[in-house]
Amino acid sequence: MPLLITNGRILTATDDYSADVFCAGETITRIEKGIDPKSCPPGTEVIDASGKYVFPGFIDPHVHVYLPFMGTYAKDDWESASRAALLGGTTTLIEMICPGKSDEPMAAFETWLGKAQGKSACDFTFHMGVTRFDDLAEKQFRDIVKRGIRSFKVFLAYKGALGVDDRELYHTLKLAKELGVVVTAHCENETLVAERQSELLAAGKTAPEFHEPSRPVQVEADGVHHLMTFAELTGAEVYVVHTSCDEAVREAASAVLRGVKAHIEVVLPHLVVDHSYTQKPGFEGAKFVMSPPLRDKGQLPKMWDHLARRTVATVATDHAPFDFESQKTMGKDAFTKIPNGIPSVENRVDLLYTHGVTTGKIDLHTFVDAASTQAARIFGLKGKGSIAVGADADIVIYDPTYRGKISAPGKSHHHMATDYSAFEGWELKGRSDTVTVRGKVMVRGGKFAGGGGDAHGRLVPRV
Ligand code: URP
Ligand code: ZN
Ligand code: ZN
């Protein structure tokens, strides 16, 4: 159905103005002041956005939905994850395909694609995980890129599981350079992590709070430095996922200064929660175990500053949803067995707005740029990341006057499949009132409007 959004304040990465937006089918076709509804086709739905922002649909460039990891599986499926994403204003997700080392890449791609297609309510694409690089795998990576998956993911962590060695890293980057695809990378020195984990456990330091000292900032900064050396030698374009500390950002930024094509991501948890959360009593701290770990609280203002200065390009979530009762507790006797990850796909936009924009840490343009536009630009998401004639009609009508709280699972503000929210009780100063994906209203008045099992989402073409 055609859609006319009137009286809104259009906010993009670069512009701020008042106008009406008309969407015919899946595309924005007119942006003008005072569009007369009578000039629109019969049956046009008119939505009054007075007092609200009109943002481009937000993009989360780093999520895990189907994730076999640390001896278990993440809880969400695409139905729950995409619904939660949309309620939180995110209209496109980029998921990491994480095959085991002995899995064939093409089979993994088909598996991950099959989980999303016909299930997802929001649009989606993937970063192809390279967990093994040999001749057979290389041929499949070339075919996967031809299928439109124009980014890879490597782990310089998780020794013996997902991590690649230096030979594999070198050849992955060479292939990426040849094919013109971006390589996203989890950067930590896996040997240092493994050694420090053993030392801590041997000393009886088994609680969640010892996750951070097992992989301190130097371990992450070293991983980033390592990636940058390889990127410099191969000329590949790289994207450092979930930088958690000033030390890691500085390593990437100094490589950029010497000409390395590198982009830097921060994820929501590293902006709003710190290491003290893992010290909560009664094993509650396990809810906050992720990698790289939550850092000392002195790091948070530095990360906001890197974001405000645009050294950090994007804000993602690294949504990795594991239950507390049945999964996080696998690490009761050893923090190394706590499945890593903090569920947050639903909360990114609202917490970034509440803790970033309303406090003045970032302005509205930075907010849109980091949560939408840069991800579209870096990963070549055709039609996404802007409000413009010809763009996909992915629109978030955002209510800055909304006041509410993130609830416990099963209540109004928790639609992820996990049995806990890391942010339960946190205040929200704004929310997505109406959300469209390619012209279809998926959220209305803050409620999901897509219907049960609505599989409107599709694989985003990449350019
Ligand atoms: O803790 C995390 N980050 N879990 C998901 C896997 C990864 O490293 O991205
Ligand atoms: Zn990671
Ligand atoms: Zn991740």
CA of 65 to the centre of ligand 3 (A): 10
Residue 254 burial (CB count, 10 A): 14
Determine contact, residues 398/89, Cβ cutoff 8 Å: yes
Residue 27 has pLDDT above 90, yes or no: yes
- Environment class of 61 (CB within 10 Å of its CB; exposed 0-12, middle 13-18, buried 19+): buried
Q: Is the CB of 120 under 6 A from ligand 1?
A: no
pLDDT digits (tens, 9 = 90+) for 297-334: 999 999 999 999 999 999 999 999 999 999 999 999 99
Q: Is the CB of 340 under 6 A from ligand 1?
A: yes
Query: Which pLDDT belongs to residue 409?
Result: 86
CA of 183 to the centre of ligand 1 (A): 16
Query: Which pLDDT belongs to residue 450?
Result: 86
Q: Is the CB of 286 under 6 A from ligand 1?
A: no
User: Pairing mode, if any, of strands 90-97 and 72-73?
Assistant: unpaired
Residues ≥6 apart with Cβ < 8 Å to 389: 28, 29, 30, 31
Residues ≥6 apart with Cβ < 8 Å to 375: 59, 60, 61, 92, 94, 314, 316, 381, 384, 385
Residue 57 has pLDDT above 80, yes or no: yes
Amino acid at position 130, single letter? V
Ligand 1, closest atom to CA 340?
Answer: 1
pLDDT digits (tens, 9 = 90+) for 151-179: 999 999 998 899 999 999 999 999 999 99
pLDDT digits (tens, 9 = 90+) for 403-458: 999 988 877 778 999 999 999 999 999 999 999 999 999 999 999 998 766 699 99
User: Pairing mode, if any, of strands 27-32 and 68-69?
Assistant: unpaired
Ligand 1, closest atom to CA 241?
Answer: 9
Q: Is the CB of 64 under 6 A from ligand 1?
A: yes
Q: What pTM, to 2 d.p., does this model score? A: 0.98
Q: Is the CB of 443 under 6 A from ligand 1?
A: no
Ligand 1, closest atom to CA 62?
Answer: 9
CA distances from 452 to 80, 86, 92, 327, 442 (A): 10, 14, 19, 27, 11
pLDDT digits (tens, 9 = 90+) for 109-163: 999 999 999 999 999 999 999 999 999 999 999 999 999 999 999 999 998 899 9
Query: Which pLDDT belongs to residue 411?
Result: 73
CA of 199 to the centre of ligand 2 (A): 23
Q: What is the mean pLDDT of the chain?
A: 97
Q: Which of 318, 327, 335, 344 to mutate to test ligand 1, by most ligand atoms within 8 A of the CB atom? A: 318
Query: Which pLDDT belongs to residue 452?
Result: 63
Q: Is the CB of 62 under 6 A from ligand 1?
A: no
- Domain residue limits, the chain: 57-378
Q: Which of 66, 131, 291 to mutate to test ligand 1, by most ligand atoms within 8 A of the CB atom? A: 291
Residue 72 burial (CB count, 10 A): 16
CATH of domain 57-378: 3.20.20.140
Question: In this structure, what token pair is assigned to residue 103?
Answer: 């899995």
